[in-house]
Amino acid sequence: MNKKIHQTPSAPKAVGPYSQAVEANGFLFISGQIPIDPATGKMAADDIEEQTHRALKNIQAILDAAGLSLREVVKTTCLLSDMKHFPQMNEVYAQYFPEEPPARATFAVAGLPLGAMVEIEAIAVRE
């Protein structure tokens, strides 16, 4: 197996013992991104729309650093602190994947790191 770790200062540093992304056999596995602004190290605003934008911008930064784009994302998993946020998260998410969106699963969880309202992980494939 050919494995490469991807790190970029354009996305938040890991808040635990994990990599921002790992590439293996043409797939890029992006760890769950919470809405931390990499410039400040602080959580994005306290509304689900801004938090969703920030999480997806973090994913976009990791993809950019790996030489990929959102078009190569084939699967995402969205974690929400409360399913009542689903419509707003979904509306923002659709702006990032307007055509041929990836497969996706969305779950409500008991809690997310640092009190985030959303966390999104992604898998992309290098053509």
**Class of domain 3-125 (CATH, top level):** alpha beta
Question: Exposed, middle or buried by CB within 10 Å (0-12, 13-18, 19+), for 42?
Answer: exposed
Domain boundaries, the chain: 3-125
Confidence of residue 14 (pLDDT cuts 50, 70, 90): confident
Task: Please state whether the predicted TM-score (pTM) of the whole model is above 0.85.
Answer: yes
State the chain's mean pLDDT as an integer.
96
Owner of token pair 């008991």: 110
Question: Which has more confidence, 19 or 1?
Answer: 19
Instruction: Summarize pLDDT for 46-90 with one digit per residue, the tens.
Output: 899 999 999 999 999 999 999 999 999 999 999 999 999 999 999
Q: Which residues contact 72 (CB under 8 A, 6 or more apart)?
A: 28, 63, 124, 125, 126, 127
